[in-house]
A = this chain, B = another copy of it.
Amino acid sequence: MSRSRVTVVDIARAAGVSKSTVSLVLQASPLVNEATRAKVNAVIRELGYVYNRGAANLRQSASSRIIGIIVNDLTNSFFAELAVGMDMVMQSAGYVQFLSNSAESVDRQREVVASMREHGISGLIISPARGTEAADLKPLAASGIPVVSVVRNVVGAKVSSLVSDNYAGAKAAVAHLVSLGHSRIAFLGGIANTTVFAERVQGWRDALVEAGFEAPDMLVIGSTASRAGGVAAIERALSLPAPPTAALCFNDAAAFGVCDGLRAAGREPGRDFAVVGFDDVIEAETAVPALTTVSVDPQGMGRRAAQLLLKQINTGKVEPEAIVGSVRLVVRQSCGAGEKAGRMSA
């Protein structure tokens, strides 16, 4: 219910344009030229007019121009960067993005999905909470609202997905550590019952086995996928009878924690123990030692997810697409290779 008394007619009169031009501007139509749009928008702001989308949606099937984003852990900078990447694309396409954090709660996620649906989102990008079932996303697909699942897949949900090649990334990282002379390589951090975890551990295992080394279960040390989780995991790893000399970490947040834990134990990451992360968040590059990591490029992934969703919104097609984004190993200092390179060039 609009509390404003200003009408489209008032706007049209003040801007010196027709009523239908004002309507087109309100609907973000591409038929209006930039100068006219700017003039009308200036008047709208000046008069404090509020376009009542709720009423408009009841009158006509106007698009709401809102995109819903749900992430599972807003405190992990990976998801913040993912959202920033999405926003770049959504903003230039004329959408406003509303983000909610499920904090890994399926119940909260259900509330948020219902609320977003009710407010007429044009589409949803979701990094699903652990334990999300196909049924949680079905109502959206059934209503014809395009959904893109990112980072994690939801088995059986007929929605598009954009995930990383976790297996290949983990395998490449471990092969790199093997090439640096390591044979006792741990997998540190991350919570076990997720597909992403299973895929990365499988890559770790296969790379070790292919190199002729052991991949014992005791070297897989799960924890929360956070900095604090990384600290806990490296503590346990260092207390093993035959401790590892290197680790692939579940994600960059855990890898930073592993570096912290190594220093707390008087060992310098990169020099005394090789650390590789997964994600390539912004601070991976500026950290000391700079983090060697499997680059998923969160902002780039966000942009691609947004483009995939927009394509579905614009074409009106919600045929699910499953995209596995390629990843690449970015070698910096934390694996020790950078140190060696530095010494060689010195």
A14 CA / B1 CA spacing, docked (Å): 31
When chains A and B are docked, how far (Å) is the Cα of A103 from the Cα of B84? 9
From A190-198, A282-290, A315-323, the one touching the partner chain is A282-290
A91 interfacial contact with B, CB 8 Å: yes
A119 to B115 alpha-carbon distance, docked (Å): 11
Q: Which 9 A-B pairs have the closest CB atoms?
A: A54-B54, A98-B98, A263-B288, A96-B115, A260-B288, A99-B99, A3-B143, A74-B80, A48-B139
Does B61 lie within 8 Å of A1, measured CB to CB?
yes
A323 to chain B, nearest CB (A): 24
Closest residue to A143 on the B side, CB-wise?
A: B3
Q: What are 15 contact pairs spanning A and B, CB under 8 A?
A: A1-B120, A48-B138, A48-B139, A51-B118, A53-B118, A54-B54, A55-B58, A66-B115, A75-B77, A87-B101, A228-B282, A231-B286, A256-B283, A257-B286, A263-B288
A228 to B4, CA, bound (A): 45
In the complex, what's the smallest C-beta–C-beta distance from A103 to chain B, in angstroms? 7
Q: A1-B57, A77-B75, A108-B91 are in contact. Are A99 and B96 (CB under 8 A)?
A: no
Question: Which residues of chain B are near A228, meaning CB under 8 Å?
Answer: 282, 286
Asked whether A96 and B77 contact (CB < 8 A) given A3-B143, A142-B48, A144-B3, the answer is no
Chain A residues 48 to 66 lying within 8 A of chain B, measured CB to CB, are 48, 50-55, 57-58, 61, 64-66
* In the complex, A111 has a CB within 8 A of chain B: yes
Contact digits for A247-277, partner B, Cβ 8 Å, 1 yes 0 no: 0000000001101110110000000000000
Q: Is A332 among interface residues, defined by CB-CB distance under 8 A?
A: no
Taking CB atoms and an 8 Å cut-off, the chain A residues in 77-96 that contact chain B are 77, 80-81, 83-84, 87, 91, 96
User: Quick check: B58 and A54 within 8 Å, CB to CB?
Assistant: yes
Distance between A13 CB and nearest chain B CB, rounded to angstroms: 20
A117 in the interface, Cβ–Cβ < 8 Å?
yes
Q: Is the CB of A286 within 8 A of B227?
A: yes
Which residues of B are found within 8 Å of A83, using beta-carbon distances?
74, 101
Contact B55 A54 (CB under 8 A): yes
- Complex Cα distance, B243 from A251, in Å, reads 37
> Is the beta-carbon distance between B84 and A111 smaller than 8 angstroms?
no
> A157 CB to closest chain B CB, in angstroms?
15
A51's nearest neighbour on chain B, judged by CB, is: B118
Q: Residues of B contacting A43 with CB < 8 Å?
A: none
Partner of A288, one of B48, B96, B264: B264
**In the complex the two chains form, is B96's CB within 8 Å of A100's CB?**
yes
Tell me, yes or no, whether A25 is within 8 Å of chain B by CB: no
Interface: A307 (CB within 8 A): no
Residue of B nearest to A60 (CB): B1
